[in-house]
Amino acid sequence: MKFNLALSLHAANDEKRNHIMPINEHNTLDVLAEALDYFYSKTGTRVTFEYIVFNGFNDEIQDAKELEAFCRRVKAKVNLIEYNPIDGGEFLNAHEDKIEIFKNYLESQELL
């Protein structure tokens, strides 16, 4: 049976990912990459990273380049997701111009 795997990533460096996903402290991006490489070797299917672009957290071109590098490492593509802020939450949705630059970079790398 063939299926697709989507994984919430939201940051492609361990420092930022530790902040939003504490499990990353024990299951780093290196560990994740090994597991996803194994998945790809068995299925031949690229994983899809679900990625929310948060204002002032992971919305810079450097973040997009880190995401690109990680996608190349594990043979993945990206699905950008709009963030719906919650009352009292730490994050806000990134500004439209930042999202557009981020998206355009990923498109230029054929990752969307």
pLDDT digits (tens, 9 = 90+) for 13-52: 999 999 999 888 899 999 999 999 999 999 999 999 999 9
Total-model pTM? 0.92
In contact, 30 and 13? CB cutoff 8 Å: no
Structure confidence at residue 52 (pLDDT)? 96
State the Cα–Cα distance between residues 31 and 110, nearest whole angstrom. 25
The count of domains in the chain is: 1
In a domain, 14, yes or no: yes
CATH code assigned at 87: 3.20.20.70
- What is the extent of the structural domain holding 85? 6-108
How far is Cα 70 from Cα 110, in angstroms, rounded to an integer? Answer: 14
Q: Does residue 1 lie in a domain region? A: no
H or E segment and range at residue 62: helix 61-74
The Cα 65–Cα 78 span in angstroms is 13
Please state, as a whole number, how many other Cβ atoms lie within 10 Å of the Cβ of residue 8.
Answer: 11
pLDDT per position as a tens digit, 54-93: 999 999 999 999 999 999 999 999 999 989 888 888 999 9
